[in-house]
Amino acid sequence: MGVHKQSVSFTEAAFAFARELVERGEYPNISAAVSGEMARARLAREREQALFEAELRRRLALPLDAWEPVQPGETLTSGARTRLSQGAEEDARAPR
């Protein structure tokens, strides 16, 4: 595995977390902590994507009579649209 040297910036919280991982002995240095946690995040994303794809394949394999009917888009989202418009109206009335 090759090494790519790159200068990066971190928030205080992110750097403190990396330093904490090193201090606890989980990694030998900050660079290893960042690389290790990026690898863990990548694996987590890949697992999440695989689970999503498996569920999608499972649902697509259902016979048509097992599908739940879905309301038209306008009806399906009407509750959310109402709440969003109420929130916008409240924001417009709020003192500035």
* Residue whose entry in the numeric block shows the structure tokens 């509750």: 79
Q: Report if residue 2 sits inside a domain.
A: yes
Query: Total structural domains in the chain?
Result: 1
Rounded distance between C-alpha atoms, residue 47 and residue 43, angstroms:
6
Q: Report if residue 83 sits inside a domain.
A: no
Mean pLDDT of all residues in 69-88 = 79
Contact between residue 18 and residue 37 where contact means Cβ atoms under 8 Å apart: yes
Rounded distance between C-alpha atoms, residue 94 and residue 74, angstroms:
29
Q: Report if residue 21 sits inside a domain.
A: yes
Contact between residue 44 and residue 60 where contact means Cβ atoms under 8 Å apart: no
Q: Report if residue 19 sits inside a domain.
A: yes
| pLDDT tens-digit readout, 15-52 | 999 999 999 999 999 999 999 999 999 999 999 999 99
Q: Report if residue 46 sits inside a domain.
A: yes
Q: Report if residue 11 sits inside a domain.
A: yes
Structural domain including 17 reads 1-63
SS3 91: helix
Q: Report if residue 55 sits inside a domain.
A: yes
Q: Which pLDDT does position 87 carry in this prediction?
A: 82
